Amino acid sequence: MQLRWLVPGIGIKRWVLVILAGTTLLGLGLAVYLLDVYRTAPEGWWLPFIKIVALQFMPNRILRAFIFGGLGLVLIGIGITGLNRALLRPFLRPGKDVIDTVAEFRRKEKGPRIVVIGGGTGLTSILRGLKSYSSNITAIVTVADDGGSSGEIRKSIGILPPGDLRNCLAALSNDEEMMTQLFQYRFASGAGLNGHSLGNLLITALTEITGSFEAAISESARVLAVQGSVLPATLKNINLVGEVELAENKTIIQVRGESEISQAGGRVRRVWLDPGNPTSYPPTIQALLNADLILVGPGSLYTSIIANLLVPDLLEAFKASKAYKFYICNIATQRGETDGYTCEDHVRAIEKHAGHRLFDVVLANNRYDHHMPEGTEWVKVCEDDNRYPYYRADFVNVEKPWRHDPVKVAKTIIDLYMERTGPLVSKEEKSSI
């Protein structure tokens, strides 16, 4: 059992060797001292005792050395195991071995630096799957949300909408059990709190306590033991404005507010931010430039994905990054936003707002045998589109077929990344090989 501490990849062997070297030197020093005492000290009652302790009654010196060395290794192993159990106890889950916990932590620590751009349920689903492969994950979230609890907080208190950020923090939490459930708990609308989630209220309170929204997000991440980071696309108070073509009379109207665009009842032609040209949050730019892999989507096409890419310096950092860039297309259309859209229509809309040749590969679902809710259709791939390499696979969540299965998508993403990079290592590790 103790030998499991020596398996590759958990970063234990080097420190075991250091401890062994130190222990050996200490033992050597003690032996030299005792030998000097033994040779020079006058006869006394304790000399026979030293002989017994030193196994002088055994004529084979090599055997004596093996006995002392073996006992030393056993004691060192017991000590290291006990020390690690004591230090790691706060991070252990019931029924999970300490060695497995350390090995998993080290494996994910070496995972690629992944940046995911999006928002809503699609983004949180992908994050839940990816955190099994890497702890170096950054979620970039739009702050244009103006609906629900986030919208109410934004209007009444004047801070950025916390909802999407809260969901991403919960998705990346190291323990998605009681604490995360508490963070996601939503009060009933009749309770006097107007359907607010506890997490939104907590982030709001932390914003006032710490004096900044970004510090509140950071403290929330610490409380939830988040693997990675969650960053707003910008700290500016922005609104999403859309140009919508009404279905009944083809009239083009202007709609203000993220929540209002999908409710307009028409086809979205384009969207933009007001005020225009907001500056991005600097850590967001740094994350994009340092990334090994950048994922765009899934999520609401105009109000989550494109809304992020409309931040000018964020888009420039995205284009400048040397990371591999994947677009994960939605499985199903979204009523009021992408009715009748194919996968190519999604890509074309992104290119219209952000430019061409943005991605290295497009991931698209190819399973269409489940029943869809009324007003929702499968997003299919046209066979004649050659602008991007398409990777088609079954990404369907069988319980909710209009959504992605986190495990399926994450495995596919990591497999494709490994095909392009070799072993699952980051840029820094590859440069050092």
Pairwise CA distance, residues 119 & 141, whole Å: 6
Structure tokens at 17: 């060797």
Band of residue 187 on the pLDDT scale cut at 50, 70, 90 = confident
pTM of the model: 0.79
Encode 42-80 in three state secondary structure.
CCCCHHHHHHHHCCCCCCCHHHHHHHHHHHHHHHHHHHH
Assess whether pLDDT exceeds 50 at residue 64: yes
304-351 pLDDT, tens digit per residue, is: 999 999 999 999 999 999 999 999 999 999 988 999 999 999 999 999
Question: Where would I find the H helices in 158-273?
Answer: 163-171, 178-184, 198-210, 213-223, 258-261
Q: Say what the pLDDT of residue 354 is.
A: 96
Identify the residue with better confidence: 429 or 203: 203
Domain 110-142+233-432 = CATH 3.50.50.60: no
Q: What mean pLDDT value characterizes the chain?
A: 84
pLDDT at 129 over 60: yes
Give me the mean pLDDT over the 181-194 stretch: 70
Question: What is the reported pLDDT for 155?
Answer: 81
Q: How far is CA 215 from the centre of its chain?
A: 19
When pLDDT is averaged across residues 266-271 and rounded to a whole number, the result is: 92
Domain ranges of the chain: 2-108, 110-142+233-432
Q: What is the pLDDT of residues 94-106, one digit of tens each?
A: 566 666 666 666 7
Q: How far apart are CA 384 and CA 422, in angstroms?
A: 31
Is residue 397 within 8 Å of 426, Cβ to Cβ? no
Least confident range of 80-84, 253-257, 401-405, 422-426: 422-426
Secondary structure, 3-state, 122-171:
HHHHHHHHHCCCCCCEEEEECCCCCCHHHHHHHHHHCCCCCHHHHHHHHH
What are all long-range contacts of 181-186, with beta carbons under 8 Å and residues at least 24 apart? 183/220, 183/224, 186/149
**How many residues can be counted in the chain?**
433
Percent of the chain surpassing pLDDT 90 = 46
Residue 303 makes CB contacts below 8 A (sequence gap 6+) with 119, 142, 144, 240, 258, 261, 262, 271, 337
- Would you say the C-alpha torsion 138, 143, 144, 148 has a positive or negative sign? positive
